[in-house]
A and B are shown apart, each in its own frame.
Chain A
């Protein structure tokens, strides 16, 4: 048996895989946060709650209406995205002209509201969601066991992230988005319906979170607190990576996920907090973030 620093290779690679899975979630969520922040200048504290709603929608779809995982992968983001659009139109947009902190406060209050509601109805314990049959099982490789579902999560997340990167950097719509991020009022003076762009961007960013939620349902327990704990880590990811570049967010998210996985193997007590530690270090060495732009 091959040992790496005293840990069997199988176990190590297994943790690295889990780290990649977590990292994929960090990447998708931090990308959604960054896209929303770029356009709206609001940090969406509720991003974790929408992720949770995405997972719950999948669970409810299956248990109340018998809708399959595959259908929910599409329906859940649409549904939660729609809720987000209503939220933006009704509440959030009135705060744009004010200090940015009010947007944060509103989204924070919404987390308490949403999480509180779900906790009231479903309690705090997690509920399980079955892995879809097509993706169950795994491949037995000589150096490790490769669960198919986990590979699927990584592939799906990275495809989504890559798709967003392509859309933003290489398409006309993306050019509009980048310009509006820089100066939304000027873009509006060119006849572009920027308020609509803002609403749809928020909806899309949230839909991304809901998509991650559906992906997460079979491997993490579907529970009301699941959003709150992950969003704080994602905040740290965002501070570390800076919100200046899409590729930067992806790399940072994945990298930190893997780092977390490795830490669990070699220094388990620190696993929960290693991301925050990295954040502190980055704040000293490169306050703008690894890929951030100095304002």
Chain B
């Protein structure tokens, strides 16, 4: 089972008194890309946050590379190779683009996934150009690139991406597709939350529909065409 990067069983999570996740179950194999689909409030972002221990309370089992992490603090979970790109992007004001990029801790042990800054800049040339500008002065697309570049630098190989295409011009979204395809080829494991169905359909292997904090439908890439109308009705499109 060294193939299994992420193994979630019976995950329940709360924000304060609100019970958001009601028993999430799914597994992600190495190199796979899963998309969590669903309506707003279904619990997709909460799932990503729960993996890192960012919710108020959670029960259930979360295993990363076979290791149980549900009792670990967030920073230790992250050091196992988890990179999180939040919906709000989280670019820190008062820090330059480069300071934002260099902020996270690279994972120890000479991790082969960690991208040196030179490689980051060749992948993201406009970040290099804007590296001394204040982080929050970058355009939406550039901030999104920065948020992704930030976690690639650390050596994380399980990427949790939340709505990365949101609010971006179609041409930037296209560039993102290209980027994710490169990451896939390199073998990154990705769990993605996406509203933009077409964006997800272009790149993901599996599609899980989340409703009321549970997975109600699993669709493989091959089945996508024939199940499309069913999916649409589930998502209320």
Contacts and interface: CB of A to CB of B under 8 A. Distances in A.
Q: CB atoms of A and B under 8 A apart anywhere in the complex?
A: yes
A194 B86 CA distance: 18
A175 interface: yes
B56 A188 contact: no
Contacts of A189: 52, 54, 74-75, 78, 84, 86
Interface in B39-61: 52, 54, 56
A178 B104 CA distance: 13
B175 interface: no
B73 interface: yes
A97 B17 CA distance: 13
A175 to B, nearest CB: 5
Interface residues of B, number: 24
B75 A182 contact: no
B73 A179 contact: no
Given A175-B95, A179-B92, A194-B75, A185 B154 contact: no
A183 B107 CA distance: 21
B51 to A, nearest CB: 10
Interface string A171-185: 010011011001101
Secondary structure class of chain B's binding surface, majority of residues? loop
A193 interface: yes
A190 B78 CA distance: 6
A6 interface: no
B79 A191 contact: yes
B4 to A, nearest CB: 22
Contact of B103 (A97, A187, A193): A187
B116 interface: no
A192 interface: yes
A178 B92 contact: yes
